[in-house]
Amino acid sequence: MPARRKPISTRQKKADQKLKRAIKRGDAPPSEPKPKPNHRRSRGRGGSELVRDQHAESVRRIQSAFITLPPRFLEETKLIASTTPLHRPIAAVNAIINITNDLSSKKDIPVLTCPRRPKWRYDMSKKEVEHNEEGWFKKWLEKTDEDLRAWQDGTGPFEDAGSPSNSHTVRSPSYFERNLEVWRQLWRVAEISQIILVLLDSRCPLLHYPPSLHSYLADRKVIFVLTKIDITGPPCTEAWKVYLHEKYPGMRIVQVESYTEKSAEQGRVWSEPHIPEELRSRLIEAIREAHAELLEPPEKVKANSSWLSSWKPPVKREIDWNVVINGSVGEYTPDVVRIDNELSPESKEGLSGESSELLEHLTIGLIGQPNVGKSSLLNALFGEHKVKASRTPGKTKHFQTLFWTRHIRLVDCPGLVIPNYLPMEIQVLSGILPISRVSAVPACIHYIAKLMPLERILKLNHPSPVPDSVQDKRTWRKDVDPGSGQTKTETWTAMDILVAYAHAKRWVTAKAARPDVHRAGNAILRLLSEGKIGWAFWPPRTEAHVLEAENGAQNGIWIPRFSGDLAEDSPSDTEAPANETPSEDSSEESQDGALDDIEEASDDANLQTTSGRFSALIIDEQEDEEDDI
């Protein structure tokens, strides 16, 4: 309650006024300020508030962290996107990827690595182990930042490494995971897994298996899994499979699909978790062969008879593969569990033979960068939604363990952006970065527009004003055609594409009513990351006639046969995506985006069709109920 006002006499009031005037003239020193009373009523925090705060703190601890782009870089890239004309037509050879991942193999080039978990002992406390990990990670972070900064600036050993390919004068930085808690998830999955499935997006596999990850998994049993093959198509997928076999001899490579389309009401379709039986059998056979190799002793053990007599395999011997091959999935599938304390392979090697016989499961880990389809593959293997899968990268926060059968368990690792000498734009194109956290939108559109004709894909009209037709009063001879003169071709820039798309969608800023190019850029990047615009790179040494036969002569990496009619599918973005599964992920995905065009437009449409003063509140309540389902 406010304090009671005290009465004051007229004489005291006049004295206070004289004192204030003297202080303003400087004749008297200023009086000390009176402390303001706190009228807020203190109350204890309830149990629900504490639980909510603890949950929010745990989510922030495992949230992916990236660098912040400087304002100068954003201004320079925006100027380049506004003034640099795009070369048209696009040559077919632009579809061949120019990432060879051999930069680290050159002389004097620093080698990027993944942080490894430092050694620990059982007599160390938890604080000592965490403090040691934090110290090692801090040193690794400083070294990686230094190497990538030198690569971006083209200084030191990178002076002769080639000119920037994404712009004329500016090389974009490369993103990688900077949160120790996320790397700890990878450490735990790698420690408890005997076989590791590395998922690679078939549209650009080299991006998802950089040299740093290859060196980190050098001593592990690895199987490559090419995902999203329904977008790339069989010819491109087979070409990548041949190239990966040449680059990594002896590596097992399988292909998977994770969804099948099902029709719904009003002509819509959504996707359900499903993997074709043939692809599922190939994946199981590759895992079975890797398990058989783990049962064989290494060559150095075979050469030593004393070692061979005491050697025990690091995996469970007896696995009933018929249960998995015959499709008896779900024989023993408890709820999703988390395993926080597991022994590392180094610790298991020191166990005695009797202890190693106690291994009850064959553990298979799924590792990859964000948005490559790890959770989707798990759902497809089980035939139902077991774990949360979303188009927004980074939905999986903790590694999760599911039992495929009684003796086989699968571990889903959160996606990590692995360090690599690659510009930010190709990372955004591949969808491994959340679109809502991309600030250099014009730079990304400029890079993508050099690889595919966005103005033709989106059916845009050039934003430059069309000159008025003037009647030609000149006379011509009979053998001369008045309209045979050369017409001026339109020159596109990345900013022209953004302005034209904003005009087509009627997106303008609030005050000045200018074309909202940032919202337009976000919408285009979402179309690419969600697969509504089909694209794919081809491996090096691909012949030009193969590219022209598959994608066309002037399409670059664009796949016309996969992309639909975007102008008819979403004229005002008032409808939900056609291939989106109606689940809780669709509502959570909109929360991660700063400008979720589909949700905003659908809200506007609902408000127009609902009458009443409190109609907006009714819609909000309906959305809350849908999110709780």
Nearest CA to 433 out of 255, 207, 228, 244 is that of 207
Q: How confident is the model at residue 201 (pLDDT cuts 50, 70, 90)?
A: very high
pLDDT of residue 242: 94
**C-alpha span between 603 and 135 (Å, rounded):** 48
Structural domain ending residue among the three candidates 160, 195, 225 = 160
pLDDT of residue 375: 86
pLDDT of residue 112: 92
**C-alpha span between 451 and 554 (Å, rounded):** 10
Is 86 a domain residue? no
> Which structural domain range is residue 149 located in?
107-160
Task: Count other Cβ atoms within 10 Å, centred on residue 629.
Answer: 8
Q: Is pLDDT at 8 greater than 90 in this prediction? A: no
List pLDDT tens digits, range 126-163: 999 999 999 999 999 999 999 999 888 876 566 554 44
**C-alpha span between 12 and 17 (Å, rounded):** 9
Mean pLDDT of all residues in 154-177: 65
Mean pLDDT of all residues in 578-600: 38
Helix (H, G, I), strand (E, B) or coil at 366: strand
Q: Please tell me the number of Cα atoms within 13 Å of 599 on its side-chain side.
A: 14
Q: Which residues contact 381 (CB under 8 A, 6 or more apart)?
A: 275, 280, 329, 404, 410
Q: Do 237 and 289 belong together in one domain? A: yes
Is 60 a domain residue? no
60-64 long-range contacts (CB < 8 A, ≥24 apart) are 61/181, 62/179, 62/181, 62/182, 62/185, 62/397, 62/398, 62/414, 63/179, 64/177, 64/179, 64/182, 64/370, 64/394, 64/417
Mean pLDDT of all residues in 469-483: 66
Mean pLDDT of all residues in 329-351: 44
Highest mean pLDDT among 40-49, 276-285, 322-331, 469-478 belongs to 276-285
Lookup result for tokens 């989510």: 59
Helix (H) or strand (E) holding 86, with range, is: none
Q: Which residues contact 38 (CB under 8 A, 6 or more apart)?
A: none
Asked whether 394 and 415 are in contact (CB, 8 A), the reply is: yes
**C-alpha span between 487 and 470 (Å, rounded):** 15
Is 53 a domain residue? no
Q: Do 273 and 184 belong together in one domain? A: yes
CATH number where 361 lies: 3.40.50.300
Instruction: Calculate the alpha carbon distances from 60 to 27, 66, 77, 262, 515 in Å.
Output: 56, 13, 31, 36, 35
Q: Do 188 and 305 belong together in one domain? A: yes
Helix (H) or strand (E) holding 475, with range, is: none
List pLDDT tens digits, range 417-449: 999 999 999 999 999 998 888 999 999 999 999
Is 349 a domain residue? yes
Biggest CA–CA distance in the chain, Å, is 109
**C-alpha span between 541 and 246 (Å, rounded):** 12
- Using a pLDDT cut of 70, give the percent of the chain over it: 71
Asked whether 257 and 243 are in contact (CB, 8 A), the reply is: no
List pLDDT tens digits, range 369-379: 998 988 889 88
Asked whether 28 and 22 are in contact (CB, 8 A), the reply is: yes
Mean pLDDT of all residues in 287-294: 93
Token code pair at residue 88: 């048209």
pLDDT of residue 100: 55
Cis peptide before 89 (omega within 30 of 0): yes
Nearest CA to 356 out of 366, 364, 367, 345 is that of 345
Task: Count other Cβ atoms within 10 Å, centred on residue 75.
Answer: 10
Is 165 a domain residue? no
Q: Do 526 and 570 belong together in one domain? A: yes
Q: Do 153 and 181 belong together in one domain? A: no
**C-alpha span between 164 and 512 (Å, rounded):** 36
Mean pLDDT of all residues in 118-122: 90
List pLDDT tens digits, range 596-627: 443 444 444 443 444 444 444 444 444 444 44
Q: Do 245 and 140 belong together in one domain? A: no
Helix (H) or strand (E) holding 39, with range, is: none
The 408-412 sheet, strands edge to edge: 252-255, 221-227, 195-201, 362-367, 408-412, 400-403
Nearest CA to 504 out of 523, 525, 532, 531 is that of 523
Q: Do 247 and 393 belong together in one domain? A: yes
Residue, of 104 and 89, whose pLDDT is higher: 89
pLDDT of residue 213: 94
Q: Do 520 and 554 belong together in one domain? A: yes
Q: Is pLDDT at 455 greater than 50 in this prediction? A: yes
Mean of all residue pLDDT scores within the chain: 78
User: Quick one: CA dihedral 263, 265, 267, 273, positive or negative?
Assistant: negative
Task: Count other Cβ atoms within 10 Å, centred on residue 95.
Answer: 27
Mean pLDDT of all residues in 453-472: 80
Secondary structure letter of residue 62 according to DSSP: T
Q: Do 315 and 388 belong together in one domain? A: yes
Is 4 a domain residue? no
Token code pair at residue 577: 């995506």
List pLDDT tens digits, range 486-498: 555 688 999 999 9
Tell me which of 31-45, 147-161, 238-252, 330-344 is least confident.
330-344
Q: Please tell me the number of Cα atoms within 13 Å of 481 on its side-chain side.
A: 4
Q: Do 328 and 246 belong together in one domain? A: yes
Is 171 a domain residue? no
Lookup result for tokens 């058989």: 292
68-77 long-range contacts (CB < 8 A, ≥24 apart) are 69/173, 69/439, 69/440, 73/170, 73/172, 73/173, 73/440, 74/439, 74/440, 76/169, 76/170, 77/167, 77/170, 77/172, 77/440, 77/442, 77/443, 77/446
pLDDT of residue 481: 63
Nearest CA to 172 out of 445, 555, 484 is that of 445
Q: Do 432 and 521 belong together in one domain? A: yes
List pLDDT tens digits, range 501-555: 999 999 999 888 899 999 999 999 999 988 889 999 999 989 888 888 888 888 8
Report helix, strand and coil shares of the chain as percent, to nearest 5: 45, 10, 50
pLDDT of residue 533: 92
Quick one: how far is CA 82 from the chain centroid?
27
Is 360 a domain residue? yes
Q: Is pLDDT at 286 greater than 90 in this prediction? A: yes
Highest mean pLDDT among 149-153, 217-221, 575-579 belongs to 217-221
pLDDT of residue 611: 41
Which residue intervals of 179-233 are DSSP H helices?
Answer: 180-192, 205-208, 211-216, 229-232
Lookup result for tokens 């041949």: 242
Q: Do 364 and 311 belong together in one domain? A: yes
Q: Please tell me the number of Cα atoms within 13 Å of 468 on its side-chain side.
A: 2
pLDDT of residue 472: 63
Task: Count other Cβ atoms within 10 Å, centred on residue 544.
Answer: 13
Number of domains observed in the structure of the chain = 3
